[in-house]
Structures are given as structure tokens and as C-alpha cells.
């Protein structure tokens, strides 16, 4: 593993207006992410930061001016970790995500945290003070070998254990099954594994954007040769039939098992049965921003 280059960066604010459909603000306490996910869309950030290092080998630690009057953001949704993981391993040392949570105490914001780490458990004392916090873990496999091929984050087992712990503590949880690798990600096996301690299940397809397309296609060619024609069909010919078929299967599964299955337009519905809500983000071009100020 390459040595991680750590820089310290002074910024005016850690809050950024968000174009995501589920949040009005993004909070990224770091630039870069040392999980080094091979499929990470956030590697595009290098175009704006001047980094020439390989993605996953650098981390800029942000130091911002203290947030003034946090209560002015009451009712706004803020998502921590849209282009980094606020709980990458270095957070244990630098505590920049924790600093944000401390500054926003009593603000009344709707807090969402997305992560691939169980380090988030360290901050449950702060997270539980927010009105109705939501923590999401990215889990796109139960196969630890495939996981290790794709990222340097903690094991899938540790992520699932953290999700269960947060659920037991009364915090809403999401399993973000993303990105779904066609015929590699076992969507229904993952759902069966986490359904008893998960409030939401977000589904997102593997979208080969940017420079990592060649790397992923090379990996498929080497490790999953029989899937090459399918991946060529999807990612060279833009054939959406695989996702349409999976969409139908998930809808049938949800109907059979009492889950709600909805579009991205209403991401925070409550299921009166207490079972998870499955939300489909397969069709990126159709994602709307109607919920960004929730």
C-alpha cells in the first residue's frame, strides 16, 4: 500500500450547497479519501484541487472557521460524506467530523452520515442529540475477497455490526447497496442479511464514469471473464435492460415481503409495517432535486 500524503487546508467553511436530491448541504471534512475505492466517482475532485497523486493516496484535512449561528440552518438537511468519507481512518486522529458535529449541537438540522466505517460509533453521543439522524453504510457485497479487491475500508462484517448497533441505539439506518456490479452484487442476499436492523435500503447501479472505467473493465476481464459480454452490453452499448429487469425483480420482492418500494422523489417516507423501505436510484438521469431541502 502506498504511503498516504497528509496535507492541512484552511477553508472558510465546511458547508457546501448540495445538488444531491436528499440534502440541501454537503459536509466534507476532508479532500480525498483513503478508502481508495476503485469505482469512486469522487476522484473527479482532483480536477479542482490540483492533486496529481493517485486517488486514495492523499488526504487534505480541512480546518474551517467556526460555523456562525448554527441554528439558522434548522430544518435543513446536511449530508456528511458526499465526496469523501468523514470516517476514514485518519478521522480517528484529526477528528474533523467530530468537530463539525460538536459545532452543530442544538442546530436542529436533519443529519445524514454516509460511510464505510464503524468509526462512526465513536460519535454516537453527539449523533443522538440531532432530531432524527440517519447513518448509511455502503455495502455492495458480502464477499470479503471482492470487497478487498475494491477498497481499503473496514470489512463488511464490521459495517453490518455497526449498523445493527446504531439501530439498537434508536438511530435510523440505511444500507446503501452501491454500486451494484451486475451479476456480482447479490442484492437479495444483502437485503436478507440486514433487513431486521435497517430502515432504508438505497439501490444504485455501477455507473462507469470517468477514468476508472478502464480499470473496472480490466478487472472484470481478468476475474469474471464470462461477464465481459454483459458489461460490454451495459457500458459500451448503454443497454438499460439489465437494470430494468432488476428493477422489476426488486419490486416483486418488496411486494412479497411487505417492503415499500419507491422512487427517489420521497426518500424519507416511513413504512407503517416497520419493515425497510427500498429506494431505487438506478436511473441517474431521472434523479430529481425536489427533496434537497428536506
Provide the H-helix boundaries in 52-138.
Answer: 91-94, 96-103, 124-127
**Backbone phi and psi for residue 53, each to the nearest 5 degrees, phi listed first:** -70, 160
CA distances from residue 226 to 19, 79, 182, 212 in whole angstroms, order as listed: 38, 38, 12, 21
Task: Reply yes or no on whether the pLDDT at 37 is more than 70.
Answer: yes
Determine which of 4-18, 46-60, 91-105, 146-160 has the lowest per-residue pLDDT on average.
Answer: 46-60
The string of DSSP codes covering 166-208 is HHHTT-EEEEEEEEE-TTTS-HHHHHHHHGGG-SEEEEEE---
Q: What is the dihedral of CA 152, 103, 22, 202, to 10 degrees?
A: 40
User: What is the Cα–Cα distance from 129 to 189, expressed in whole angstroms?
Assistant: 33
User: What is the Cα–Cα distance from 231 to 73, expressed in whole angstroms?
Assistant: 44
User: What is the Cα–Cα distance from 174 to 195, expressed in whole angstroms?
Assistant: 10
Q: Domain limits of the chain?
A: 5-207+240-286
Q: Are 118 and 135 in contact (CB under 8 A)?
A: no
Determine which of 61-70, 101-110, 202-211, 275-284 has the lowest per-residue pLDDT on average.
Answer: 275-284
Over residues 237-242, mean pLDDT: 94
Neighbours of 65 (CB within 10 A): 10
Q: Are 154 and 116 in contact (CB under 8 A)?
A: yes
Task: Reply yes or no on whether the pLDDT at 151 is more than 50.
Answer: yes
Question: What is the CATH code for 5-207+240-286?
Answer: 3.20.20
Q: From its phi and psi, is residue 144 left (phi > 0), alpha (psi between -120 and 50) or beta? A: alpha
Over residues 265-292, mean pLDDT: 64
Task: Reply yes or no on whether the pLDDT at 43 is more than 80.
Answer: no
C-alpha cell at 97: 467530523
Average pLDDT, the chain: 90
C-alpha cell at 216: 473496472
Q: Are 280 and 264 in contact (CB under 8 A)?
A: yes
Nearest Cα neighbor of 257 from 236, 242, 278 is 278
Whole-model pTM: value is 0.91
Looking only at the bridges linking them, the beta strands covering 58-64 and 30-31 are antiparallel
What's residue 54's pLDDT? 82
Amino acid at each position: 500500500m502506498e504511503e498516504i500524503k497528509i496535507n492541512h487546508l484552511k477553508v472558510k467553511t465546511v458547508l457546501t450547497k448540495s445538488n444531491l436530491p436528499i440534502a440541501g448541504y454537503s459536509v466534507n471534512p476532508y479532500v480525498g479519501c483513503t478508502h481508495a475505492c476503485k469505482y469512486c466517482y469522487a476522484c473527479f475532485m482532483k480536477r479542482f484541487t490540483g492533486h496529481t497523486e493517485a486517488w486514495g493516496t492523499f488526504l487534505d484535512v480541512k480546518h474551517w472557521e467556526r460555523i456562525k449561528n448554527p441554528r439558522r440552518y434548522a430544518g435543513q438537511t446536511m449530508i456528511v460524506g458526499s465526496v469523501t468519507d468523514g470516517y476514514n481512518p485518519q478521522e480517528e486522529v484529526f477528528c474533523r467530523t467530530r468537530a463539525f458535529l460538536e459545532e452543530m449541537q442544538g442546530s436542529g438540522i436533519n443529519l445524514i452520515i454516509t460511510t464505510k466505517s464503524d468509526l462512526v460509533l465513536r460519535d454516537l453521543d453527539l449523533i443522538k442529540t440531532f432530531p432524527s439522524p440517519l447513518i448509511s453504510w455502503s455495502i455492495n457485497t458480502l464477499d470479503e475477497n471482492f470487497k478487498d479487491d475494491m477498497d481499503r475500508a473496514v470489512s463488511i462484517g464490521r459495517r453490518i455490526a455497526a449498523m445493527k448497533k446504531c439501530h439498537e441505539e434508536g438511530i435510523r439506518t440505511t444500507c446503501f447497496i452501491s454500486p451494484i456490479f451486475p451479476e456480482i452484487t447479490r442484492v437479495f442476499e444483502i437485503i436478507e442479511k440486514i433487513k431486521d436492523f435497517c430502515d432504508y435500503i438505497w439501490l444504485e447501479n455501477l455507473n462507469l464514469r470517468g477514468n476508472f472505467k478502464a480499470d473496472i473493465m480490466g478487472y472484470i476481464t481478468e476475474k469474471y471473464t464470462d461477464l465481459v459480454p454483459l458489461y460490454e452490453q451495459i457500458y459500451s452499448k448503454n443497454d438499460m435492460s439489465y437494470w430494468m429487469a432488476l428493477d422489476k425483480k426488486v419490486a416483486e420482492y418488496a411486494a412479497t415481503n411487505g417492503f415499500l418500494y419507491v422512487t427517489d422523489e420521497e426518500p424519507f417516507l416511513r413504512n407503517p409495517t416497520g419493515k425497510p423501505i427500498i429506494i431505487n436510484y438506478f436511473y441517474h438521469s431521472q434523479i430529481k432535486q425536489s427533496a434537497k431541502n428536506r
